[in-house]
Structure 1
Amino acid sequence: MSPWMINTAAGILAVLAATGLFFFVTTRGTLIVRGLAGGPRSSESHVYPIYSNMRLIKLVDFQPIISAILLFQYHRLVSRIVSGLRATNLKHKKVLITSCAFGNVIPRVVDASLNSGASRVVVADIIKNELLHAKSKLDDTYGSRIEYVEDDATAMKQSEGFADANIMFFLLHELPHDLKGKALSEAGRMLAPGGKLYLGEFHKPTPLVLKCLSWSYFKVFEPLGLALWDSHDPVAILQKMGGWTVERQTFFFDNFQIITATKH
């Protein structure tokens, strides 16, 4: 192997190592430090700095990066939700987006909802900076049809049954296990009968190699996400609650899922 190839390989490994360290420090690493420091737990204790610090938000929220993290399935996953909204008559109805997400999911969901006749889209997140960042992505022409509210997905202040569609995109895997069910319960409470919950999340992959890689990723960066594979499968939780008709579609060797749950 030539010196050039050795140097190139070393450079790539160094970049990957630095990137991995950055994401670990700004995600799980911070939670570990918080846990060791002790102190009272708040509703934001589980939130990573990467989602609350505006500088980090702007640094990381770059579409190619977000697409790469989701193994370039981001567009397909969002498109599945968008197609569902476009096929629904939302005339004079309200749509809820529970928790902001990186990438272009919010602009695409907002556009699809309003084009389907929605009178208002409520964007809710526990972090104010996430709401400000989401607002910066949206066209000013939407005006008062978009409402931004600081709210906790596990204990929402919104009125019961006010929305006819609720989008929750890659939130559950970051919530502590005792809050996963609460978030789904709140999602159902805020939906009107016949309303739909669109849930995008990770799923247990089928190929052994991908399963091992995903397991390793979760163990290092997102340990709370592994429970979605078994003990806290969103479909199982919704079915146990009752009052739902649930459909699941998986993507990329079953590594990701879009759940469409219709409230009875």
Structure 2
Amino acid sequence: MNKPHAVVPDVALESLDKDDPDLPASRPVSVQSVPEIPEYLRKVYTWAYLTPAYSRYLDTSLVVSAILWGNMNRLMRAGFSEFEPGQSVLQPACVYGSFSAHLAARLQPGGHLHVTDVAANQVEACRAKLTDYPNSLVGFADAAHPRDRDYDGVCCFFLLHEVPEDYKRRIVDSLLAATRPGGKTVFVDYHGPHWAHPLRPIMIVVWRLLEPYAIALSKNEIRSYASKDLADAFTWRKETYFGGLYQKVVAERRP
């Protein structure tokens, strides 16, 4: 669904102050600001995220729904339900399909959506989807890199399963640290399906062949990737869906 995020050269993160009057999503991409694509992204996910022909095919709601076994709308609603109009929310990776547009709409009126990614083609595609949402801004940033601001909420939708274990830890800490007191960090991703789930054998094969970093989420709690000090600053809750194949984890920062 998303793509791995590794350390990239320092790139100025576009401001998204809560009182910004205008947040156009379709700003041009500067050649100088395009970060280097990490090696493991090229090795594992070039076909899915860096090849324009495949990206155009995959970047449709129909394909995304099929990949998620018909659960796309249910899982999107699960994530959106944690946020309210007027909030500022970070989406730390571009997502195929209509996810970003629905989230931007959810935050209206008065809210802001900030979407970031490391791949230029994904940033451009997301900007095109959000041109009708002046409350949104799309730019470059690494999900594992500390933010220069904080947010009322963070919505991490199907990102963790596509990054190695060390990046999972760095991303979780980065997103928790970017959440204001009283705010929420929401993770929607894969989970370990029930042992009798009819799709379990299929998903294990898919993960091993196409998503080598995903199977860890069937064994480890998302909270376990957070450093202890940050984890203890939040209250945690988890819901599972579709026989345990998917999960929503909500970390709410104590006031």
Per the normalisation by structure 1, the TM-score is 0.75
Letter in 2 for 1:221: L
1:110-125 correspondence to structure 2 within 5 Å: 110-115=104-109, 117-118=110-111, 120-125=112-117
**1:224 counterpart = 2:182:** no
Q: Write the deviation string for residues 37-78 of structure 1: whole angstroms up to 9, x where unpaired.
A: xxxxx6622322221233321122121111111111111000
Offset of residue 213 of structure 1: 2.2
- What letter is aligned with 2:137? E
Asked if residue 246 in structure 1 is aligned to residue 236 in structure 2, the reply is yes
Q: Which residue of 2 aligns with 1:138?
A: 130
**C-alpha contact (below 8 Å) 1:46/1:174 kept by paired residues:** no
Deviation at 1:221, TM superposition (A): 1.2
Please say if residues 66 and 74 of structure 1, whose CA atoms lie closer than 8 Å, have aligned partners that are also in contact: yes
1:176-218 Cα offsets, whole Å, 9 max, x none, are: 1111010000001111111111111001011434322221221
- The residue correspondences of 1:1-264 to structure 2 (distance < 5 A) are 44-47=38-41, 48-49=45-46, 50-85=48-83, 88=84, 91=86, 93-115=87-109, 117-118=110-111, 120-140=112-132, 142-143=133-134, 145-156=135-146, 158-160=147-149, 162-208=150-196, 209-230=198-219, 232-238=220-226, 240=228, 241-264=231-254
- Distance (Å, rounded) in 1 between the aligned partners of 2:37 and 2:127: 23
Higher share of residues assigned helix: 1
8 Å Cα contact 2:37-2:119 kept in structure 1: no
Q: Measure, in 2, the Cα distance between the counterparts of 1:212 and 1:82.
A: 30
Tell me the distance in 2 between the aligned counterparts of 1:221 and 1:194: 37
What's the counterpart of residue 33 of structure 2?
Answer: none
Q: Which runs of 5+ in 2 are unaligned?
A: 4-35
SS at match of 1:102: coil
**Higher RCO by CA contacts (8 Å cutoff, separation 6 or greater):** 2
Ranges of 4+ aligned residues in structure 1 off by more than 4 Å: none
What TM-score do you get using the length of structure 2 for normalisation?
A: 0.77
Q: Which amino acid aligns with 1:74?
A: M
Inter-CA distance 214–155: structure 2 relative to 1 (3 Å threshold): same
CA contact (8 A) 2:103 2:113 kept: no
Cα-to-partner distance string for 1:68-99 (whole Å, 9 max, x where unaligned): 111111110001112222xx3x53x4211110
- Tell which deviates more after alignment, 166-175 or 215-224: 215-224
Structure-2 change in CA distance of 1:46 and 1:263 (3 Å): farther
Structure 1 Cα separation of the partners of residues 108 and 75 of structure 2: 19
Contact 1:238 1:244 in 2 (8 A): no
**Amino acid of the residue matched to residue 75 of structure 2?**
L
Percent same amino acid among aligned pairs? 24
Question: Equivalents in 2 of 1:168, 1:44: separation in Å?
Answer: 20
Mapped to 2, the partners of 1:54 and 1:146 lie a distance apart of 24
Q: Report the secondary structure of 2:105's partner residue.
A: helix
The answer to whether the 8 Å contact 1:169/1:199 transfers is: yes
Distance 2:50 2:217 in 1: 24
Aligned length in residues: 213
Q: Distance in 1 between matches of 2:78 and 2:138?
A: 24
* Higher radius of gyration, 1 or 2: 1
**1:163 aligned partner, one-letter code:** Y
Are the aligned partners of 1:63 and 1:104 in contact in 2 as well (CA < 8 Å)?
A: yes
